[in-house]
Amino acid sequence: MEELERADELAPTARNYTRHTLYSAHSGTLGELLCALYPCPLTYREIGLRLKDDVKPEESHPFKEWIEFHADPVVGDICREFARCPDGLAERAGKDGRELHYKLPDGVPVLEDGQRARGMAGLVRS
């Protein structure tokens, strides 16, 4: 814990994720921003659920409050609602709009439905 508290630099993956998110916010579409943000709450949710089941933290556990928050069913509801946002944008946009909102590098196909965000996140847990 003390080492974490003294750390003044982000880990490379955290730095890259935040830069990607900021880039999406400044230069992308709303759909791109939502897709960039999407992995974060789902990852925390998954970690919270697993830690609650595997660690079963007692009152003295330093991350008990964090674990309980992210494992809470209300957070699951929020994550499911968040998942509907890019799907809803894609649904309303039609095929041409999906290609605009979900622009990918050359050679990467755009899916016909709003599943791209969850597929890219690699996380599908309700």
pLDDT tens-digit readout, 16-55: 888 888 998 888 778 888 888 888 898 999 999 999 999 9
Cα–Cα distances in Å, from 93 out to 30, 84, 98?
12, 14, 6
Instruction: Report how far residue 20's alpha carbon sits from residue 14's, in angstroms, rounded to the nearest whole number.
Output: 10
> Other C-beta atoms within 10 Å of 94: how many?
10
Note the pLDDT of residue 115: 46
Give residue-wise pLDDT tens across range 62-115. Answer: 999 999 999 999 999 998 888 888 777 777 777 666 665 555 555 544 444 444
Note the pLDDT of residue 38: 86
Q: Please tell me the pTM assigned to this model.
A: 0.63
Note the pLDDT of residue 125: 35
Cα–Cα distances in Å, from 28 out to 15, 18, 36, 56?
19, 14, 10, 41
| SS3 (DSSP) at 89 | helix
